[in-house]
Amino acid sequence: MNWIAQQLKWIMLVCGALTCTMLYAAIDPQGALRSTFGTTLEGPLANIVVRNWGALITLVGALLIYGAFRPASRPLVLAVAVVSKLIFIALVLVYGQAYLGQAGPVIVFDVVAVLLLSMGLFGIAQQRLQAG
């Protein structure tokens, strides 16, 4: 856990940068769906929803990058990122099992990110408790 605390800035930067790659969904919603899930959604509503999804995920990535440089904001940023990634993981596992093959790498990344970011959050909480 000590290693995580020492490297939290870099963990947040890497996770944030990789999460920001979902800007692709805001730019090319059909391409992002094909690369992530192996299929697409059709129609103007699909374009709105997928572009919004990509933008929101990108914002979480940007928050992680911001939090890497602003230690005071890290608890909130880490909590938002962990909850966001857990929701996506749960939704795919519950409703999208047919897409696990294609979305597997994204799920694996998000699981690893959740573990590392959660350990960082718990490390911050421990430090604050010890400091009084």
Name the percent of the chain lying above pLDDT 90. Answer: 92
Tell whether the model's pLDDT for residue 1 goes beyond 80.
no
Tell whether the model's pLDDT for residue 59 goes beyond 80.
yes
Average pLDDT of the segment spanning 43-47:
95
Strand (E) or helix (H) holding 85: helix 74-95
First to last CA, the chain: 20
Using pLDDT thresholds of 50, 70 and 90, give the confidence band for residue 50.
very high
Average pLDDT of the chain, as a whole number: 96
Using pLDDT thresholds of 50, 70 and 90, give the confidence band for residue 65.
very high
Average pLDDT of the segment spanning 36-58:
96
Give CA–CA dist 122/93, Å, rounded. Answer: 25
Between 2 and 37, where is the model more confident?
37
Give CA–CA dist 119/50, Å, rounded. Answer: 30
> Would you list the domain boundaries of the chain?
2-131
Residue 38, SS3 per DSSP: coil
Q: Which residues contact 115 (CB under 8 A, 6 or more apart)?
A: none
